[in-house]
Structure 1
């Protein structure tokens, strides 16, 4: 017969195992999160937060005017030769013809130099960059102008 009344005491070995396990989990999670944080999009940082705060209301007003235009822009896509293709529609859903497009491509982590892109209209409402964009992930700042109306948007190309 087994003695079922035997009491096991909590010892220093138990406490050491608990502490080591706890800190192993904490360190592992921190290392994984640090790895993901440094390998993904680095975010946007302003040079001077005070100056940015003074411009904030102007940015909101510009955003309201851009929203009132009703223009729709497709997500940037690469074609087979790494050129960027965008499709634009006006407020009624018709192709937006005759617009002028430029873009600035920035590497999220600054590992590659900034690229300037110009676009030409290849079909009604379809615009293709005049030059290819190197492989990799890029943040795009796209400027669209048609007559007196302008639209500035951000996108991403992979």
Structure 2
């Protein structure tokens, strides 16, 4: 036998420890990555009963098309801890409103949802001094314009430093 012959390596408990630590390290890293991606990309769309929501879809879509045919535009401003909303028709003239309710929906936590009733502040503009904390919100505006159903304006907004971005 030569002096340069190779000595075979043994598989020890230390090798097994490194394999197990490496395996679980990869699993934990992948889980943390998936949690981070889920928290930053989830739209927050939640319904209590998906079957009922699917049955109402066509009716709501038709209502949306009828509302879009009016050509009305909702004007939303959020600044200095105040929410203001008005509605204008296709020619830019103000639409007379009888009341406005806004629901601020937090995309991730239903407990953060905040309903706000606006009051008449000036000619055809409704306002309230209630702005939710900074972040991304879905707002649902129900404006009573004397139609059979309230005018519905749903938007995804960003509030930063108490103002609409």
Q: TM-score range by the shorter chain?
A: 0.5 to 0.7
Distance 1:108 1:100, change over 3 A: same
Deviation at 1:62, TM superposition (A): 0.9
Q: State the distance in 1 between where 2:158 and 2:85 align.
A: 11
Q: State the distance in 1 between where 2:158 and 2:74 align.
A: 14
C-alpha RMSD of the superposition: 3.0
Aligned length: 133
Check conservation: 1:77, 1:157, Cα contact below 8 A: no
1:135 paired residue among 128, 133, 136:
133
Larger radius of gyration: 2
Dislocated runs of 4+, deviation >6 Å: 27-30
Distance 1:52 1:117, change over 3 A: same
The answer to whether 1:83 aligns with 2:82 is yes
Q: Which runs of 5+ in 1 are unaligned?
A: 1-23
Q: State the distance in 1 between where 2:105 and 2:82 align.
A: 15
**Partner deviation per Cα, 1:45-91 (whole Å, 9 max, x = no partner):** 223322222111111121122112221013x33221x1212232112
Q: State the distance in 2 between where 1:120 and 1:47 align.
A: 30
Q: State the distance in 2 between where 1:145 and 1:65 align.
A: 16
Check conservation: 1:96, 1:124, Cα contact below 8 A: no
Deviation at 1:151, TM superposition (A): 1.1
Moved more, 90-99 or 136-145: 90-99
> TM-score scaled by structure 1?
0.66
Deviation at 1:111, TM superposition (A): 6.6
Counterpart secondary structure, 2:138: strand
> TM-score scaled by structure 2?
0.64
Q: Which residue of 2 aligns with 1:118?
A: 117
**Partner deviation per Cα, 1:8-61 (whole Å, 9 max, x = no partner):** xxxxxxxxxxxxxxxx8xx98985564243035542022332222211111112
Q: State the distance in 1 between where 2:68 and 2:120 align.
A: 23
Q: Which residue of 2 aligns with 1:47?
A: 48
Matches within 5 A, 1:17-96: 34-39=35-40, 42-74=43-75, 76-80=76-80, 82-96=81-95
Q: Which runs of 5+ in 2 are unaligned?
A: 1-25, 160-165
